[in-house]
Structure 1
Amino acid sequence: MNWAAIRFDWNQVRAFLATAEEGSLSAAARALGLTQPTLGRQVTALEAHLGVPLFERVGKSLILTPSGQLLVEHVREMGEAATKLSLAASGQVQSVEGTVKITANEMVSTYALPEIVKGLREDHPGLVIEIVSTNSLSDLRRREADIAIRNAEPTDPDLIAKRIRYDSGGLFASEELARKLGKITEPKHLAGAPWLGFDETDEMIDALVRRGVPVTRENIVARSKSHAVHWEMARAGIGIGLNSNAVGQKTPGMVPILADKLKFEFPVWLVAPRELKTSRRVRIVYDRLAERLAAMD
């Protein structure tokens, strides 16, 4: 052990770690029971001691600099070691506690995550799961979420990603609308049918046209940025909607349209910031999501 190299103040290191975990000085100060100026001075003192900036400000948030990203993994290990030391000294068994924030699109958030969260809470009562239901991509580096479920492979090298599976989706109509449409055995039979769109309607139309479906913007009778609203309009019989087969085939009153000819496959990726791989609670949630999402029908 090189004792001479250990010259930093643990309180400064703890302030740095809390700020990295919480995303802002004010949130870190609340977590540690300190005033914001006191915590800010501790972070500044650590930066001065190390000779490198650890954070940069983006809007109202603080994000780690490259130097901060390099150091935070070591500091997090120190924090976990300190926690284990305190628990061992008090005779307690280490438990998994704290908040883990998961971001996913509306349909995954609504139909897949509740059962997974229920199992996590039963096994780890100290966990608090926050679900950010959004169809836009959350910025994991700015700690808008700890874990993301996405349908596109991330390109950021500071993120770790695992492709869980390939999912499939298709076209669905209410039983009432399906009766009005009559027998449909080929894509051309959908000419003139009413369709539901998303905010990216042109992309949806292009994908359908490439598969031989005669649909134009004039066929879009209603649209919504919300996938949940889109699906409820489909259930109401307003038009043909799109959804994953896992949801569509299990929804009462919904009929698949040309399921054998019009199947759309897409990957399911599980993504997290690279520095969070040493966080035990995030790793537990990450591994559970990987296991359960891979096993979904």
Structure 2
Amino acid sequence: MDWDKLRIFHAVAAAGSLTHAGDSLHLSQSAVSRQIRALEESLGTTLFHRHARGLILTEQGELLFEATRAMNKRLEAAAARIRDSAEEVFGQLRVTTTTAFGTLWLAPRLPTLYERYPDLNIDLILEERVLDLPMREADVAIRMKEPSQADLIRKKLMGIRIGLYATQDYLRRSPPIERLDDLAGHRLICQASSSPQVAAGATLVAQLMTQEPRSVLNINNYFGVLQATLNSLGIGVIPDYITEDFPTLVRVLPEVESGEVPVFLAYPEELRQSKRVAVFRDFVQDEIFAHRRRNREAAA
């Protein structure tokens, strides 16, 4: 199969237009159209439905586009690995993690990484869905459980626990809370049970609900839980990696917490020699070690 025709097909399928694809490829619309017709003839099928508003892939076109998309990702990975053979650290690094960890822990620390490597481009993908690293949906993942996908290099970064926190303002104007059953007089702010979350967090929330809190505010991610807690709406059920950066929060019922939740960093085996991955991995580890050291010094 002609690689050049596949490249042009991929551009047309991605753009949905012969004109836009031609602009990106620096080819005329007629040249692009001829290449698509030739590819269709060689395959003996129609790849696009032609409409006045653009092009729509046929079922056969969708199959081919899926294949060229996978090929394109592999080519991008190969090009990145070739660039990584140089001494400089530059180019794109796609990092995926949860909304809370990416927003509240990782993003505020990225200036340190950019100071060291100003030519590095981070594409931060924040979502609860576990992306497929071997299929190159992302280069690096930070997740709250050990990845199960094959052909990945895994490293445990730390263990976290989920506990109860509130502001001094909320505690001053609310009934005392000294025992677990005192939750009956308070509003509980927690991640909604319908949201993707670690089992340890869901188990803790289920335990707290047996105390029949006076009111419950369910939010679908920890960023929202934190903001509601900081605004003194109630007692928040929050991971400790978040609260360590917000010293105004007070730990409530310290003996009540989840089991340990492991935090893993993972990346595909094929990126083992990638300098971009290595500097990001080392940066995250350094930030965790520095934070732990500050906590020990503060406790001493």
Q: TM-score range by the shorter chain?
A: 0.5 to 0.7
Shift of 1:226: 3.0
The DSSP-based 3-state class of the residue aligned with 2:70 is: strand
Shift of 1:219: 4.9
Question: 2: distance between equivalents of 1:252 and 1:290?
Answer: 22
Q: Which amino acid aligns with 1:240?
A: I
Asked whether the equivalents of residues 140 and 272 of structure 1 are also in contact (C-alpha less than 8 Å), the reply is yes
Question: 2: distance between equivalents of 1:236 and 1:296?
Answer: 25
The answer for unaligned runs of 5 or more in structure 1 is 1-10, 45-55, 85-92
Indicate the residue corresponding to 1:148 in structure 2.
141
How many correspondences in the alignment? 254
Structure 1 residue 244 corresponds to structure 2 residue 236: no
Question: 1: distance between equivalents of 2:148 and 2:65?
Answer: 21
The within-5 A match list for 1:200-239 is 200=193, 206-210=203-207, 214-216=210-212, 219-239=214-234
The DSSP-based 3-state class of the residue aligned with 1:121 is: helix
Q: Which amino acid aligns with 1:280?
A: K
Indicate the residue corresponding to 1:128 in structure 2.
121
Q: Any idea what the Cα deviations from partners look like across 1:68-106, whole Å, max 9, x if unmatched?
A: 99xx69x9399628x86xxxxxxxx73111011212223
Q: Which amino acid aligns with 1:63?
A: A
Moved more, 118-127 or 104-113: 104-113
The DSSP-based 3-state class of the residue aligned with 1:76 is: helix
The within-5 A match list for 1:258-277 is 258-262=253-257, 264-277=259-272
What TM-score, normalized to structure 2?
A: 0.65
Asked whether the equivalents of residues 165 and 249 of structure 2 are also in contact (C-alpha less than 8 Å), the reply is yes
Question: 2: distance between equivalents of 1:198 and 1:60?
Answer: 38
Change (3 A) 1:127 1:228: same
Q: Which amino acid aligns with 2:283?
A: R
Change (3 A) 1:134 1:150: same
Asked whether the equivalents of residues 105 and 242 of structure 2 are also in contact (C-alpha less than 8 Å), the reply is no
Structure 1 residue 185 corresponds to structure 2 residue 178: yes
Indicate the residue corresponding to 1:97 in structure 2.
90
Asked whether the equivalents of residues 164 and 294 of structure 1 are also in contact (C-alpha less than 8 Å), the reply is no
Task: Specify which of 69, 73, 94 is matched with residue 62 of structure 1.
Answer: 69
Q: Any idea what the Cα deviations from partners look like across 1:174-193, whole Å, max 9, x if unmatched?
A: 22322344332321222242
The DSSP-based 3-state class of the residue aligned with 2:162 is: strand
The DSSP-based 3-state class of the residue aligned with 1:109 is: helix
Indicate the residue corresponding to 1:254 in structure 2.
249
Change (3 A) 1:122 1:253: closer
The answer for unaligned runs of 5 or more in structure 2 is 16-20, 40-62, 293-300
**Once the two structures are aligned, what percentage of the paired residues are identical?**
22
Shift of 1:290: 3.2
Asked whether the equivalents of residues 158 and 273 of structure 1 are also in contact (C-alpha less than 8 Å), the reply is yes
Change (3 A) 1:144 1:293: farther
Shift of 1:269: 0.4
Moved more, 148-157 or 225-234: 225-234
Question: 2: distance between equivalents of 1:105 and 1:238?
Answer: 24
Shift of 1:228: 1.3
The DSSP-based 3-state class of the residue aligned with 1:122 is: helix
Question: 1: distance between equivalents of 2:81 and 2:140?
Answer: 21
Indicate the residue corresponding to 2:189 in structure 1.
196
Indicate the residue corresponding to 1:52 in structure 2.
none
Change (3 A) 1:63 1:192: farther
- The alignment yields a C-alpha RMSD, in angstroms, of 4.6
The DSSP-based 3-state class of the residue aligned with 1:185 is: coil
Change (3 A) 1:222 1:80: same
Asked whether the equivalents of residues 81 and 274 of structure 2 are also in contact (C-alpha less than 8 Å), the reply is no
The DSSP-based 3-state class of the residue aligned with 1:94 is: coil
Question: 1: distance between equivalents of 2:105 and 2:255?
Answer: 24
